[in-house]
Structure 1
Amino acid sequence: MIIEAVAQSADGKETPLTPLISDTRMQIPLPQALEGKGGHLTLKISWHYTIPGEWGGRTAFSQNQDGEVYEIAQFYPRMAVYDDQRGWDTAPYLGQEFYLDYGNFDYSVTVPKGFLVAGSGVLTNPDTVLSAQEKARLAQAATSESRIMIRTPEDVQAIVHQPQTETQTWQFHMANTRDIAFVASPALLWDAARLNLPPLEGSDAKNPAPRLAMSVYPAESAGATKWDRSTEYVKHAIEYFSGKWFPYPWPNAVNVGGHGAAMEYPGIVFDGKDDAGAELFWVTTHELGHGWFPMIVGSNERRNAFMDESFNTFIDVYASDHFNHGEFAPKHDVEFAPQTGHPADDIVPVLKDQDAPVLMTPADLISEKYRHSVTYFKGAYGLQLLREQILGADRFDRAFQHYIALWAFRHPTPSDFFRVMESEAGEDLSWFWRGWYFKNWGPDYRLKSVSYVNGNPVQGARVQVENKGWLPLPVVLALTWMDGSSARLTIPTETWSQRNTVTLQIPGKLAIRSAVLDPDHMIPDLNRLDNSFTVKLTAAHPAVPSAAPTPTVQGAPVP
């Protein structure tokens, strides 16, 4: 990007200003300080941006069988955030993410006639750039639960075989957003379906256009297990996240089948034209989930990457369970439970890795080796532990929904998140924040012994459990008696406040056949080899004791 000129505009006059440019940062010294309490000024920045080629980090150009596709993002000067943490947040751009503030965007894209432009927000001049047939099809899509083709393969062929010398300008509006992006191409198919969401209010209410889930992709990406289903996935993600966590605040949602950046922007995401099956569902859901983190909840992803990547991955897990009766469940990809699909087992190597960074490590200091395993997976699984093992779904969901609503279009820090979750859930979680976010601690429980009161099963059993780890997650103990009956109990976190070993008194009249800690692998126990005992009576004694001499009990650990 080249900055050509900067000026302050007031009363119809422009005053040239001299910017101070340092790497990717620009300061603009003002003739006088901006007044507080509603003061405002207008800056005019002249600049140009050269598309960097096939892959520009976040912007991409690709050649498809019917023509070129331009995915344009991060292409204009952006205002740094001024917050109550650092004043101006001046972290330079290092090829990763931005920390951005909110505003209203009106932008226009001029392209050769026949090009399709899909962008963040709502198209405000459809009568100028769309054909009568395309407008009619959009009207049909506005009432359709399944996709309607807006631009068909036949339409694309007619366009690409009729070169144009004229241009068209597509105009878009998006309110209360931190960014915009767009794609332009003559080669893209276009389909759409309705979003079952209420009409927009506020500054976007002036746009009466229906709210749509849309996909644009090249003809070679079409197929029953490929991009033919993209809009189905878009529709599900937006509607599910809106109903579960917070209403989607923008007009439309667009999925682009392009170079494969797997990159998110408000209202539009760039995915891979070759994506298919579960991978297409997962990447679509994940990139659209970023609409909530960090697009709605404006956390600083330049510094605290887990606050958008892991929060988003967490909500994706439940979206996978919810979609079409679990068609693509459980989520099992590079972002979550990548080895076996069982997060409690797959996270253990990360917890044991002495070189693995903690979640609170600044984003720029986390190497690519650990980006997915720590920032995405560990962070998301931590929230799943919090929801399913510590707080329970009801308390967690209420607290998490309140966090999103409280910090929507604002800039929370990790401490803000920790405080809201504790306050709304009514639970001191300091031990969990410390162990999971500031350390890479894990639980490690040992089933130490099984014995009987006075050596007699009729009088009850004693089960001794040892805590060898540093993260005292609640743990389930499953017991099975000799007649096949069974019971479970949960050993809570508070058990370990002042001790590392506990003896549990278990009532019963039979000998215990087996005792197992965490039988369903719900927590990341660092060593499962000592979690179980098989308890057998000697052959000389029956399974059901009587008043006869007490049977001898033998215990043996099983892996």
Structure 2
Amino acid sequence: MLKKPSIQPIWISLSLLTLLGSVNMFAQPVSNHGNKFEQLTDLLPDPNNYRNVDGAPGAEYWQQRCDYDIECTLDVNNLRLNGSELISYHNQSPQTLRYLWLQLDENQHDANNPNQVFDPTSINGTMSENQMQGLEAGKGKDKFGCKIQEVIDANGKPLKYSINQTMMRIELPEPLKPGAAFSFRIKWHYYLVDRINIAKIASNSATNLARGGYEYFSEEDNYIFTITQWYPRLCVYSDFAGWQNKQFTGRAEFALSFGNFVVKMTLPTDYVVAATGECLNYSTLLSPAQYARWQQAQQAKEPIEIVTLDEAKKNEKAKRSTELKTWIYKADNVRDFAWGASRKFVWDALANTTEEGKKVMCMSYYAKEAYPIYRRYSTKAIQHTINTYSKYTIPFPYPTAISVEAANGMEYPMICFNPGRAEPDGTYSEATKIDAVSTIIHEVGHNYFPMIINSDERQWSWFDEGLNSFVQFVAEREMDNDYKPWFGPAHQIVDYMKMPKDQLEPIMTNSDNIVDFFANAYRKPATALNILRETVMGRELFDYAFKEYCRRWAFKHPTPADFFRTMEDASGVDLDWFWRGWFYTVDAVDISLDSIKYYRVDLDNNPKREEITESTKLEKPFDDINKRNNKQAGKVPLIERDTSLKDFYTTYRPWESADSVQQTKVYLYDQPYSKEEKSKKFGDKHYYELQFSNKGGLIMPIVLEWTFADGTTQVDRIPAEIWRKNENQFKKVFVKDKMVKAVRLDPFRETADIDESNNNWPVKQVPTRFQVFKAHKVEEGPNPMQKAKGKKAKP
């Protein structure tokens, strides 16, 4: 808490600060600014033919493509998935490839995977069963992981391969040249994990969490299956990283190539399937009544239950079917494919028509336990998300968007898995509802980041989670302006940013190395972008630039540099200081309002007129090295070759004459104001000199709220560039027409200031007087040419 000073009236005259320029009277031991406003060229990769300096894809931008034909069977009795796939890989790079890297993400659960042991553990005074199991994370997991049964080329010839944890390298029979394609087949299987039990054991360790697997309902002997990152799939090969074959440890998610999918899923006939893309055979899978509802839903404006609650309840209680059926789905230009299945699912749908006239089927799948929340909110939340994201990014390009209630949150193209179960009596808390709705908006929003705007999650989790969390916040507030968000408002990140520096890491930290993942990858970047939109740039400039970034990089592989550069290029705002501070440092915002001085113009007194004579002695000019070398080289200047250019000053040598000493007279305060003039111009003005200091290191705009003596208020906004010449402190004078009673810095808590105790200042209404005048008068003597001709200079 700053001690309030006593401001006493002091009568002073306004003196001449400088006559001809600013003079630094005191030597500075160190620079008063570092590099906060310097350009990011030292941190960003150089632009090239693939990625432009303006953040757009370059003229020679390229990316790979990979198509999949997959057939799989879900063995619900043995909890095993058996699959085979035909992969067609298209080398659209300028490089010749000798091998291919694939992801085997299910090997995350292999007992021998290093991620089972590389997280620190400790003994507490009291240990739960789950904590005890966590001490032996690999125990009981011997059967898990992806088992490769066969790898052959399109002609059936075996291919050499090797497996390194969650990565598999396939040796190509001959180099794959630019523009060529290679097709091969893989046969595999794996046992599904109990993702609910693993989540309990994993506790706060993201490395052992399971996104895919099953949830078992023992009271009725039923399952909800979430089949995710389930098939061997190609790693990204890019211009900026080559092969992205970084191991999957469970946290940093996926980097994948776009392609077309045809997937056939075989499982018992009493299961309902939700999947990426469009189903090609609903007419043979659904009952006549269900298929009729599906047709009706194509025009529905309210959700229609394709599989009703009553049908789902009967189905989950019926005897398990032993017959099988195959669901066939097709998805074009997607980077991944996921699906869910259960005997418990209610399924509802409505048709959403975008502004471009494209129809998107918004659909939800959920068990009776989630019915009270999902029937009311899920599908409409999908619709709202698509419409909001389309407004701020690009129109939603896919034919479906699905939310599946599965007691967790995870995203894939056109399908996501979310929480949201009510109590047995059908009631639910507000927190449970917000958890469901926020997660649905967030996971559906991931269709854009990173499913369409395809960033590399293995390196930069914030680049999809943070951007998506920001637009999620915008969508939530456009759904309900009183919505209670998880992140977005600046003051909600203060608790994180005020932590000790050694417990923080920059946003631009590799995903697997982050300590507080939620704060660093979600909350801080979402808050930063909200501050950028609302406080730094303004909505119009930000929204235009953000939309341009999304347009440029839709269905491509952007990097953070492309985002930073595009935001500046499309808005015309230099934001390097913002990226540097918020994304590359652990600095916090703590701007202090250190002092206020209150002034009034002295209406009664004028500064005393003073006369000053300044003398200057002229010395013979020094012959510098250039002049000497020109003479030695025999160069004849133009003035010697064209004598018409010669005048009085050609042979003028003032240092050899009486002109060697030149005098200038200066009359300080020569033009005073009359009392009437001062009263008219300045009599009602109040001058406040505020001093600010940067205690947190992170520079931000200055937002001030003035409260006047009459109770009215006014807000002033000073851009962050006020700090550009001194990053540590500055003074600023504000001229007001009314007396000020109080001043508050960051009144709307929009800059994430971690210490608000130094943001307020009471002002005592006793001014220090200062004197004013119109201008100084400077009288110069006659110039030498006039003097030589005997003429007088004009006064």
What range describes the TM-score normalised by the shorter chain of this pair?
0.7 to 0.9
**Residue 466 (structure 1) shift:** 1.3
Residues in 2 aligned to 1:82 and 1:200: alpha-carbon distance in whole angstroms: 35
Residues in 2 aligned to 1:28 and 1:489: alpha-carbon distance in whole angstroms: 62
Superposed CA deviations along residues 132-189 of structure 1, whole A, max 9, x for unmatched, are: 1111111221212211111113222443425423211000001111111111111111
Aligned pair partner of 1:350 in 492, 497, 500: 497
**Residue 44 (structure 1) shift:** 0.7
Q: Structure 1 residues 232, 509: CA separation in 2 closer, same or farther (over 3 Å shift)?
A: closer
What SS does structure 1 have at the residue aligned with 2:176? coil
Matched, 1:125 2:352: no
Residues in 1 aligned to 2:737 and 2:350: alpha-carbon distance in whole angstroms: 63
- AA in 2 matched with 1:49: Y
Q: Structure 1 residues 155, 464: CA separation in 2 closer, same or farther (over 3 Å shift)?
A: same
Q: Counterparts in 2 of 1:113-192, with a 5 A limit?
A: 113-160=269-316, 161-192=318-349
**Residue 267 (structure 1) shift:** 0.8
Matched, 1:41 2:182: yes
Q: Counterparts in 2 of 1:440-479, with a 5 A limit?
A: 440-447=586-593, 448-454=595-601, 458-469=684-695, 470-479=697-706
What SS does structure 1 have at the residue aligned with 2:348? strand
What SS does structure 2 have at the residue aligned with 1:17? coil
Superposed CA deviations along residues 285-343 of structure 1, whole A, max 9, x for unmatched, are: 011111111101111111101000110100011111111x436x141x3xx26xxxx53
Residues in 2 aligned to 1:244 and 1:352: alpha-carbon distance in whole angstroms: 33
Q: Structure 1 residues 504, 458: CA separation in 2 closer, same or farther (over 3 Å shift)?
A: farther
Superposed CA deviations along residues 449-491 of structure 1, whole A, max 9, x for unmatched, are: 1311357984421221213242221111222222223322112
- AA in 2 matched with 1:263: M
- AA in 2 matched with 1:215: S
Q: Structure 1 residues 52, 507: CA separation in 2 closer, same or farther (over 3 Å shift)?
A: closer
**Residue 16 (structure 1) shift:** 1.0
Please tell me whether the aligned partners of residues 213 and 252 of structure 1 are also in contact (alpha carbons under 8 angstroms).
yes
**Residue 396 (structure 1) shift:** 0.6
The match for 2:507 is 359
Please tell me whether the aligned partners of residues 119 and 180 of structure 1 are also in contact (alpha carbons under 8 angstroms).
yes
Please tell me whether the aligned partners of residues 462 and 503 of structure 1 are also in contact (alpha carbons under 8 angstroms).
no
Residues in 1 aligned to 2:434 and 2:399: alpha-carbon distance in whole angstroms: 27
**Residue 361 (structure 1) shift:** 0.7
**Residue 15 (structure 1) shift:** 1.7
- AA in 2 matched with 1:117: V
Residues in 1 aligned to 2:190 and 2:705: alpha-carbon distance in whole angstroms: 63
The match for 1:498 is 725
What SS does structure 2 have at the residue aligned with 1:7? strand
Q: Counterparts in 2 of 1:235-274, with a 5 A limit?
A: 235-258=383-406, 260-274=407-421
Q: Structure 1 residues 124, 429: CA separation in 2 closer, same or farther (over 3 Å shift)?
A: same
Q: Which is further off, 244-253 or 456-465? A: 456-465
The match for 1:542 is none
Residues in 2 aligned to 1:348 and 1:408: alpha-carbon distance in whole angstroms: 35
Q: Counterparts in 2 of 1:6-155, with a 5 A limit?
A: 6-9=151-154, 13-37=155-179, 39-55=180-196, 57-64=210-217, 67-96=222-251, 97-155=253-311
**Residue 390 (structure 1) shift:** 0.9
Superposed CA deviations along residues 88-142 of structure 1, whole A, max 9, x for unmatched, are: 1110111131111111010011111121111111001111111111111112212
Residues in 1 aligned to 2:366 and 2:214: alpha-carbon distance in whole angstroms: 14
Please tell me whether the aligned partners of residues 350 and 373 of structure 1 are also in contact (alpha carbons under 8 angstroms).
no
Residues in 1 aligned to 2:168 and 2:490: alpha-carbon distance in whole angstroms: 44
Please tell me whether the aligned partners of residues 420 and 433 of structure 2 are also in contact (alpha carbons under 8 angstroms).
no
Superposed CA deviations along residues 343-402 of structure 1, whole A, max 9, x for unmatched, are: 3254254244311111011001012xx111111000100101111111111111111111
Residues in 1 aligned to 2:724 and 2:743: alpha-carbon distance in whole angstroms: 24
Matched, 1:480 2:636: no
Superposed CA deviations along residues 169-210 of structure 1, whole A, max 9, x for unmatched, are: 000001111111111111111111112237899xxxxxxxx6
Please tell me whether the aligned partners of residues 347 and 366 of structure 2 are also in contact (alpha carbons under 8 angstroms).
yes
Q: Structure 1 residues 113, 501: CA separation in 2 closer, same or farther (over 3 Å shift)?
A: closer
Please tell me whether the aligned partners of residues 389 and 474 of structure 1 are also in contact (alpha carbons under 8 angstroms).
yes
Aligned-residue sequence identity (percent) comes to 31
Aligned pair partner of 1:214 in 350, 360, 363: 363
Matched, 1:535 2:786: no
Residues in 1 aligned to 2:708 and 2:161: alpha-carbon distance in whole angstroms: 78
Q: Counterparts in 2 of 1:319-358, with a 5 A limit?
A: 319-323=475-479, 325-326=480-481, 329-331=483-485, 333=486, 336=487, 342-344=489-491, 346-354=493-501, 355-358=503-506
Please tell me whether the aligned partners of residues 351 and 440 of structure 1 are also in contact (alpha carbons under 8 angstroms).
no
Q: Structure 1 residues 399, 233: CA separation in 2 closer, same or farther (over 3 Å shift)?
A: same
The match for 2:125 is none
Which structure has the greater CA radius of gyration?
A: 2
Q: Counterparts in 2 of 1:370-449, with a 5 A limit?
A: 370-447=516-593, 448-449=595-596
- AA in 2 matched with 1:362: N
Residues in 2 aligned to 1:435 and 1:507: alpha-carbon distance in whole angstroms: 31
**Residue 502 (structure 1) shift:** 3.6
Please tell me whether the aligned partners of residues 371 and 421 of structure 2 are also in contact (alpha carbons under 8 angstroms).
no
**Residue 217 (structure 1) shift:** 0.8
The match for 1:556 is none
Residues in 2 aligned to 1:401 and 1:176: alpha-carbon distance in whole angstroms: 21
What residue ranges of structure 2 are gaps of 5+ in the alignment? 1-145, 199-209, 423-431, 604-682, 770-795
Residues in 1 aligned to 2:602 and 2:579: alpha-carbon distance in whole angstroms: 43
- AA in 1 matched with 2:725: Q
| Higher normalized contact order (CA 8 Å, seq sep 6+, divided by chain length) | 2
- AA in 2 matched with 1:3: I
Q: Which is further off, 383-392 or 352-361? A: 352-361
Residues in 2 aligned to 1:389 and 1:125: alpha-carbon distance in whole angstroms: 51
Q: Which is further off, 500-509 or 484-493? A: 500-509
What SS does structure 2 have at the residue aligned with 1:300? coil
Q: Which is further off, 416-425 or 438-447? A: 438-447
**Residue 270 (structure 1) shift:** 0.9
Residues in 2 aligned to 1:200 and 1:537: alpha-carbon distance in whole angstroms: 63
Superposed CA deviations along residues 529-550 of structure 1, whole A, max 9, x for unmatched, are: 1211112348xxxxxx9xxx98
Residues in 2 aligned to 1:478 and 1:455: alpha-carbon distance in whole angstroms: 27
Please tell me whether the aligned partners of residues 49 and 76 of structure 1 are also in contact (alpha carbons under 8 angstroms).
no
The match for 1:206 is none
Paired residue total:
516
Q: Structure 1 residues 107, 465: CA separation in 2 closer, same or farther (over 3 Å shift)?
A: same
Q: Structure 1 residues 418, 156: CA separation in 2 closer, same or farther (over 3 Å shift)?
A: same
Matched, 1:524 2:669: no
Superposed CA deviations along residues 258-296 of structure 1, whole A, max 9, x for unmatched, are: 2x2211111111112527422111010011111111101
Residues in 1 aligned to 2:216 and 2:302: alpha-carbon distance in whole angstroms: 29
- AA in 2 matched with 1:513: K
Q: Which is further off, 64-73 or 435-444? A: 64-73
What SS does structure 2 have at the residue aligned with 1:154? helix
